[in-house]
Structure 1
Amino acid sequence: MSRFVRDMEVIFWEEPIEIGPKETSYLKVREAEGVANLRIVVPHLPEGMPEDAREATLKRLLDAHLSTIKGRLVSWYYTPMMLPFSRHIEADAVVFDAMDELSKFKFAPTKLLDLEQELIDKADVVFTGGSSLFEAKKDRHRSVHCFPSSVDRTHFAKARAQMFDPADQEDLSRPRLGFYGVVDERFDIELLDRVAAMRPNWSFVMVGPVVKISEDELPRRHNICYLGGKTYEQLPAYLSGWDVALMPFAMNESTQFISPTKTPEYLAGGKPVVSTPIKDVVRHYGHLQGVQIASTPEEFVAGCEKALELSRNPESGWLAEADLMLSATSWDTTQARMAGLIAEVLGEPAATRSSALLVAAE
C-alpha cells in the first residue's frame, strides 16, 4: 500500500477496537508514520453491542468518512468479514485480495464462506497470495491472478550486517535458531518442544504475539525464549542475531494454502531456512540449498544441522543462489502489475491522484 500512495489516496480501514459500554462510537484517524497519503482509520465501538447494531454503526461511520472523498473509489478487501457494513458502497472497482484461506482458521465465523462467495461475486478482480490459493480459487471468478509473497530486500538485507542485538536477545547463547510471526494454530508447538529437547544447547527464539491459543499450551524449556510481538522495523535486528531461521508450521487445515512471506525475508536477511513441508514453500523454494524441508523432529534437527553449517559458510554458494532467485522478486513489480489490472477495470491507463483506495483489513 505504501506504493499505491504514489498514485492515489489510500484509506486503511482496520477492525474495530472495543471501548467502554457507555462510551460513544467514534473513528480514530491518523496518517501513517513515514508514508505520505496513507490514512489509517480505526473504528472504536462500545463493547457488548448486538451484531445488527454493530454493523449499522460501522456503516454509518464508514459513510460519514467516505463523504469526504472525491473522485473515483476502489474498494480493496483482505477479508469478507468487512462486507456486511460496506456492501452498499458503489465503488468504481472492487478487489478481493485473498491472502489466506480464512475459513480454515481456528474460530472462523460460520458465515465466512457465504460472505466470501458474495465478495467473489461482487469483485471485479481477485488476487491470491500464493499458488495454492490460486489453484483453489481460479475457477470461482473470471479474473483471478496469483501474486506470491514478495520481499523488501533492502529492509531485510540490513540483517546481513552486524547489528546491535536487541536487549532481550543479546544474552542468549549460540547457536540461535529463530522464528518471527504470529504464534497460533498454524504453529507446530509439539515440533518445537521435541526439537528443543533434542538439542538443549541450542537457543530457540520466538518473536511474535500468541493468538487464538493459550500461552499455557506453549512448551516451556530453558532454551526456548518467547520475546513477544515486535515492529516490522525491528525484525532485521532480531534476524541479524540468529544463525538459522525457522518455519515450524503445523501441517493441518489452517496451513493448507499458506504461502509464508517469511521465506524470502529470511533469505534476504542472509539466513538459511528450515521449514516443514508447506506446499508453496516446497514448490517455490525447496530446490534451494539454503532451504531445508523437514517433516519429523528428527528430520528438523538434521535440517538445522545442515543450515548451521551453511550459515558458517556463506561463500559456499547457497546465499548467491538465493540472491539470484530473490532478484526477480519485488514489491514494486507486484504493485505495478496489480495497478495495471485495476486500471483495466477503471477503463483508464493508470490510477489518478483524484482516485481513492479503501482497504478493508482485519
Structure 2
Amino acid sequence: MHLVAFSHLRWNFVYQRPQHLLSRLALRYRVLFVEEPMKDASEARLEVTTPAPGITVLRPHTPVEAPGFHDDQLAAVLPLLRAYLENQGITDYAAWFYTPMALPLIAELEPRAVIFDCMDELSAFRDAPRQLHQRESALMKRADLVLTGGPSLYAAKRHLNPNVMCLPSAVDAAHYAPRCAAERHDLVREAEELQAGVPGPRLGFFGVIDERLDIGLIAALADAHPAWQIVMVGPVVKIDPASLPQRPNIAWLGQQPYALLPQLVRSWDVCLLPFALNEATRFISPTKTLEYMAAEKPVVSTAVHDVVELYGDLVRIGRDAASFIDACADALDETANEHEARVGRMNERVAMYSWDRTAETIVRAIGDVVRPVPVQAANTALEPVQAIVAQRPAAGGAALAVAKTI
C-alpha cells in the first residue's frame, strides 16, 4: 500500500515531524509526498524526486498565482495527481494529510483510509487561508484516524472525531547523543567553522524563526548579559528579517542541515525555547525539546503549555523576560553534580519517546482502520516494498539509517 501525503511543508525544509514519521513509515509503505504547488509560467507539470528510500516527492508546477492548495490551484493539481497515480499503476493507497487545504484533491479518488496528522493549529498561524477552519472541520469528519502532536492539540480535537490519538513528537536520540556527535569529525569541523566567531558562553536555538518566537525576549536576553552569545539557527519565514534584533552578541546562522545540528548544539552551554505566548503557540509541542535533552543540554523555555506539561520537571521555565533570563543564568551556573543528575533524568525521559516506536504505533493504527483492498488492486505487486525492507538492518537501526541519509 502507498501513503499519499499532502503537506504544506516542503520535504527539503526544516527536518521535523513529517520527515521523521514518513521516512520510518516508508519501511512499511511506499510514500508519495505531495507538496504545495509552485508558480511556473510553463504548462502544469509534476517535478518528481526521490530524496530517501521509499519516499517520492511530487512537487506540482502550475501557472496559477494563488498560493498553497488554494481552490484556484486544485483544477491544475488534480489532473497531475490522477495521471501520476494511473501511470504508476497505483490503486492501493491511503491519504495522509498535514494540511486540510488539500482535502478536495481526494474527492474523486478512492483511498483505503484517510489519516490526519494534526501537528499544529494551522488556522492560528500568520497568513492562514480563510477557508482553513471549514476545510479542517470537513477533514475531521472524513478522517478514519486523527493523530495529534501533543496534549494541547489532543484536548482540542478529541471530541471532533471518534478515533483521535495523542502522539507527541519524539526524538532520534542516537542522532543527538554527544558521543555520536563527536564521532563525526567532518561535521564537528564544519560546526566549529560556522561558529568560529562566536565565543562562549553560547545560548542557542534551532528551528523555524517566525511569528511564534518572542523576538523581544531574544533582544532582552542579549542586552541583559552582553558577554552571553545568542546563537539562532533556522530559516526566517513570514516575518521581516529586518525586524530581527541585531546585537554584537546575537549570531543569526540561517537554516542548517539536520545532519549538522548535533555538532552545533554540542558546543552550546544552554538550549533555548524562546517562544512567544500567543494564539500561534497555544497548541505547539516543540520537537526540539527532546532533541535538546538528547544532546544532554540544560533547557530554558517560556511557559508553552505542552513543554510545561510534558517536561516541566526537567526544563527551566521562564514566565516573563526577567525569570527567563534568571533561568538561563541558573543553567549556566549548574554544578557538576547537578549536571550529572539532570542528564540522568533527561536520558530516562528521552528513552520514553522514540520515532521508531511512534511509527510502529501508527502502522498498527492504520491497520485497524484501513478498508479492504479494492479488487483492481488485489494483484498489485508487494515485492518492491519487501525488497526495500530487506536491504536495511532490522528494527531501530533501519529507521536511524534512513534519517541519516537525508
TM-score, normalization by structure 2: 0.81
Give the corresponding residue for 1:254.
280
Give the corresponding residue for 2:33.
12
Query: Structure 1 stretch 239-248 or stretch 41-50: which is displaced more?
Result: 41-50
Give the distance between the partners of 2:384 and 2:336, measured in 1 at CA.
Answer: 50
| 1:152–1:331 contact (8 Å) kept in structure 2 | yes
Give the distance between the partners of 1:31 and 1:16, measured in 2 at CA.
Answer: 17
| 1:9–1:353 contact (8 Å) kept in structure 2 | no
The code of the aligned residue for 2:80 comes to: L
Give the corresponding residue for 1:139.
159
User: Secondary structure at 2:193's aligned position in 1?
Assistant: coil
User: Secondary structure at 1:127's aligned position in 2?
Assistant: strand
Of 313, 325, 328, 1:301 maps to 325
| C-alpha displacement of 1:16 | 1.6
| C-alpha displacement of 1:286 | 0.5
- 1:118-267 to structure 2, matched below 5 A, reads 118-158=138-178, 161-162=181-182, 163-164=188-189, 165-267=191-293
Query: Structure 1 stretch 256-265 or stretch 301-310: which is displaced more?
Result: 301-310
User: Secondary structure at 1:95's aligned position in 2?
Assistant: strand
Give the corresponding residue for 1:360.
none
CA displacement 1:291-312 (0-9 Å, x = unmatched): 1000222111111112123386
| 2:177–2:294 contact (8 Å) kept in structure 1 | yes
Give the corresponding residue for 2:364.
340
Give the distance between the partners of 1:353 and 1:118, measured in 2 at CA.
Answer: 32
CA displacement 1:237-281 (0-9 Å, x = unmatched): 211121110000000000000000010000101111000000000
Assess, with a 3 A threshold, how the Cα gap between structure 1 residues 242 and 234 changes in structure 2: closer, same or farther.
Answer: same
The code of the aligned residue for 1:70 comes to: I
Q: Are 1:317 and 2:341 an aligned pair?
A: yes
Give the corresponding residue for 2:61.
44
The code of the aligned residue for 1:150 comes to: A
Give the distance between the partners of 1:175 and 1:138, measured in 2 at CA.
Answer: 43
Assess, with a 3 A threshold, how the Cα gap between structure 1 residues 154 and 76 changes in structure 2: closer, same or farther.
Answer: same
Give the distance between the partners of 1:228 and 1:4, measured in 2 at CA.
Answer: 29
| C-alpha displacement of 1:69 | 3.7
| C-alpha displacement of 1:113 | 0.1
TM-score, normalization by structure 1: 0.91
User: Secondary structure at 2:108's aligned position in 1?
Assistant: coil
Assess, with a 3 A threshold, how the Cα gap between structure 1 residues 254 and 157 changes in structure 2: closer, same or farther.
Answer: same
Assess, with a 3 A threshold, how the Cα gap between structure 1 residues 74 and 217 changes in structure 2: closer, same or farther.
Answer: same
Assess, with a 3 A threshold, how the Cα gap between structure 1 residues 156 and 123 changes in structure 2: closer, same or farther.
Answer: same
Assess, with a 3 A threshold, how the Cα gap between structure 1 residues 315 and 258 changes in structure 2: closer, same or farther.
Answer: closer
Give the corresponding residue for 1:28.
47
| 2:64–2:73 contact (8 Å) kept in structure 1 | no
Where structure 2 has 5 or more consecutive residues not aligned to the other structure, the ranges are: 1-21, 183-187, 373-380, 386-406
Give the distance between the partners of 1:87 and 1:97, measured in 2 at CA.
Answer: 19
Give the distance between the partners of 2:152 and 2:72, measured in 1 at CA.
Answer: 37
Assess, with a 3 A threshold, how the Cα gap between structure 1 residues 69 and 256 changes in structure 2: closer, same or farther.
Answer: farther
Q: State the number of aligned residues.
A: 347
The code of the aligned residue for 1:242 comes to: W
Higher-helix-fraction structure? 2
| 1:127–1:146 contact (8 Å) kept in structure 2 | yes
Give the distance between the partners of 1:140 and 1:191, measured in 2 at CA.
Answer: 36
Assess, with a 3 A threshold, how the Cα gap between structure 1 residues 214 and 49 changes in structure 2: closer, same or farther.
Answer: closer
Give the corresponding residue for 2:353.
329
CA displacement 1:202-239 (0-9 Å, x = unmatched): 11000011111101111111111111111211211211
| C-alpha displacement of 1:45 | 1.8
| C-alpha displacement of 1:196 | 0.7
Give the corresponding residue for 1:109.
129
Of 274, 285, 288, 2:300 maps to 274
CA displacement 1:15-34 (0-9 Å, x = unmatched): 12222x3x1221111112xx
User: Cα RMSD over matched residues?
Assistant: 2.1
Give the corresponding residue for 1:62.
81
Give the distance between the partners of 2:352 and 2:382, measured in 1 at CA.
Answer: 29
Give the distance between the partners of 2:125 and 2:233, measured in 1 at CA.
Answer: 21
Give the distance between the partners of 1:106 and 1:319, measured in 2 at CA.
Answer: 37
Where structure 1 has 5 or more consecutive residues not aligned to the other structure, the ranges are: 357-362
| 1:132–1:257 contact (8 Å) kept in structure 2 | yes
| C-alpha displacement of 1:314 | 6.5
Give the distance between the partners of 2:64 and 2:90, measured in 1 at CA.
Answer: 33
CA displacement 1:164-195 (0-9 Å, x = unmatched): 33422122010000000111110001111111
| 2:300–2:327 contact (8 Å) kept in structure 1 | yes
